[in-house]
Structure 1
Amino acid sequence: MGNERDFFDQIAGQWDSTRSVDAKKIAELVEMVGLEPGCKVLDAGSGTGVLLPFIKKAVGSAGKITAVDFSANMLAKAEEKYGSLGDISFAVGDIMEFVPEHGVFDAVLCFNFFPHIKDKQRFMTHMRSLLREGGLLVIMHDISRQQVNAIHQDSEVVKNDRLAPGETVSGWLTTAGYQVTQIIDAEDRYFIKAIKS
């Protein structure tokens, strides 16, 4: 994992220029989550914070967001861009070890991050412990699974970080104690929504 952390630390400065942000699509994905004003949200693997303004818009001034990433440089970029939005706390660390200071979350969002998790079953179980009863875990990408895997294929460091078919991930979630309510594994996006049951 040290190699991956170094990799993301090194590319943090250029990260935002390497991928265009499809604001309309990201807004649609966040809308599909169904966040409400005042929600407490964990942005797992926040990176440079692409998702933060969209979450903030959904949860409003009463909402609280925690952004976690193991790359200090990526998260510094996120804080630089979105720290002024208010009520966002930035925590550098391994999501597998993360324990929030203030209670549980209404939702955990995992945007463009899931393939990089080595022990996916353990991740799902750990996220479940951070969610309130009825809370949501959402795994999403603003491009297709095929595109994600093709991009990773070209990098020595992340070439084994694959995104599995929606049905496969849904099975893992069910085993981990979630009820899966939505699976989209399409040509332009990937979206799985699960409830802690």
Structure 2
Amino acid sequence: MGDELFFDRIAGQWDATRAADAGKIGKLVELIGIAPGSRVLDAGSGTGVLLPYIHKVVGNEGQITAVDFSANMLQQAKTKYAALRNIEFVVADIMNFSTAPGFDHVICFNFFPHVKNKSLFLQHIRNALNSGGMLTIMHDLSRQQVNAVHQASAAVKEDRLACGETVSQWLTGAGYEVICRIDDSDCYFIKARKT
């Protein structure tokens, strides 16, 4: 089964089985430092958990593009956030998504472990960022918790989250400057600037 089929199959139950910690997510979004009016790509948006948090900071002047390869997951997001007019929903594999520069921020929330070729992905996303744009890889769980959840599911057990130091090295090698790294028992957060 392809990953998109797995996520399509579980889309209807996803939000009910995954309790989001609104306070923690809000603090992580604050750490990103998104300015009002920014253009933001939510890579691997899923059911759109992050969308209201991004919208709150970019405001009506900003633009959010939510990309996911699972049509069913993205449909859940569209249904929940149809009233937010500055969100574009795109069903696509992020690696096939047009990467013309233009985004101030690309956010990978609870998504990065599912990327098969991390090195190619980091280069691809770098092309989507404006000069000085930021890539943020974050989870509202610890790395150990993320990996334990994935290990328990045959469909995603190989989708591992590497330690923050390793991912920082990958980012540096791909042309980013790591600005902030948190890899602790509470969450996982890496913010890097396109150089």
TM-score tier, shorter chain, comes to: over 0.9
Give the count of matched residue pairs. 195
TM-score (norm 2): 0.98
In the other structure, the counterpart of 1:16 is: 15
| Structure 1 runs not aligned, ≥5 long | none
CA distance in 2, matches of 1:140, 1:192: 6
Matches for 1:55-94 after TM superposition, within 5 Å: 55-94=54-93
Determine if contact 2:99/2:127 at 8 Å carries over to the other structure: no
CA distance in 2, matches of 1:97, 1:3: 16
In the other structure, the counterpart of 1:181 is: 179
In the other structure, the counterpart of 2:170 is: 172
Shift of 1:55: 0.1
In the other structure, the counterpart of 2:139 is: 141
Q: Quickly say closer, same or farther: Cα 1:63–1:131, change in 2 above 3 A.
A: same
CA distance in 2, matches of 1:113, 1:189: 14
Shift of 1:100: 5.6
SS at 1:57's partner residue? helix
Cα deviation, 1:58-98, whole Å, max 9, x if unaligned, reads 10110000000000000000000012111100000100010
- Aligned counterpart for 1:123 among listed residues 121, 124, 134: 121
Deviation larger for 36-45 or 79-88: 79-88
| Structure 2 runs not aligned, ≥5 long | none
Identity %: 62
CA distance in 2, matches of 1:52, 1:97: 22
The RMSD of aligned alpha carbons is 1.0
Confirm whether residue 33 of structure 1 aligns to residue 38 of structure 2. no
In the other structure, the counterpart of 2:160 is: 162
Task: Give the aligned residue type for 1:4.
Answer: D
